[in-house]
């Protein structure tokens, strides 16, 4: 298993990126596993984080901020609400391991700061989805919450398929779009 060295050169970022990869592979990695994957010693990890809970809480904040930043940067290029939505999806797919971590690690979500950030992000996405329903992009029979949950799953699934080599990165956004708009069935019922 190859060690992760963050492109930013930042030790905390390297630890978070390594942890995301390990969590995405299943199981619950130890802090020692995370340090090894990041290419740093356990003592280095413990200089930055006193406990596992401290590490996971900071990692959740980092993951949320990186997802928020990717979405915000993508939406700046949009020509319409519809276009913004698809650009955001395309920007989030490469960060699917962070989505997975946030969805899986419920203990990190109990901190008020993290819960507030997740609620804010969900509210913004649901508002955008509701607007797209008004524009006729999405079926209004489905709740924005349901569509948002499906989008979350598709983002992680696309990331996972890219990692497995079963999906080309440049085709992932289009596949998510076709899945959301057309589903899998040949005949719509």
Structure tokens given for 1: 């298993």
Q: In Å, how far from its chain's centre is CA 139?
A: 24
Backbone angles phi, psi at 135, to 5 degrees: -80, -5
- For the chain, how many residues are written? 189
Q: Is 98 helix (H, G, I), strand (E, B) or coil?
A: helix
CA-to-CA distance for 54 and 31, rounded, in angstroms?
Answer: 11
Which of 119, 5, 132 shows the shortest CA–CA distance to 68? Answer: 119
* Helix spans in the chain (H): 11-24, 31-38, 42-48, 52-75, 81-92, 96-104, 112-134, 144-164, 169-182
Walk along the chain (189 residues) and give the pLDDT tens digit of each residue: 455 554 556 899 999 999 999 998 887 899 999 999 999 999 999 999 999 989 998 999 999 999 999 999 999 999 998 999 999 999 999 999 998 888 877 666 678 888 888 888 889 999 999 999 999 999 999 999 999 999 999 999 999 999 999 999 999 999 999 999 988 877 655
CB 54 within 8 A of CB 45: no
CB 176 within 8 A of CB 89: yes
- Domains of the chain, earliest start first: 1-50 (1.10.10), 53-182 (1.10.357.10)
């Amino acid at each position: 298993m190859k060690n992760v060295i963050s492109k930013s050169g930042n030790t905390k970022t390297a630890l978070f990126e390594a942890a995301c990869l390990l969590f995405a592979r299943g199981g619950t990695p130890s802090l020692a596993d995370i340090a090894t994957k990041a290419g740093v010693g356990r003592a280095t990890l413990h200089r930055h984080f006193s406990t596992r809970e401290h590490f996971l809480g900071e990692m959740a904040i980092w993951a949320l901020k990186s997802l928020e930043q990717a979405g915000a940067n993508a939406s700046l290029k949009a020509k319409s609400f519809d276009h913004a939505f698809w650009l955001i999806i395309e920007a989030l797919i490469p960060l699917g391991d962070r989505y997975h971590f946030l969805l899986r690690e419920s203990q990190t979500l109990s901190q008020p700061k993290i819960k507030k950030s997740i609620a804010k992000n969900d509210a913004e996405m649901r508002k955008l989805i509701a607007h797209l329903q008004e524009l006729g992009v999405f079926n209004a029979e489905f709740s924005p919450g349901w569509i948002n949950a499906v989008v979350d799953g598709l983002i992680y699934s696309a990331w996972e398929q890219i990692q497995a080599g079963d999906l080309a990165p440049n085709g992932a956004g289009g596949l998510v779009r076709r899945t959301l708009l057309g589903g899998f069935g040949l005949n719509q019922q």
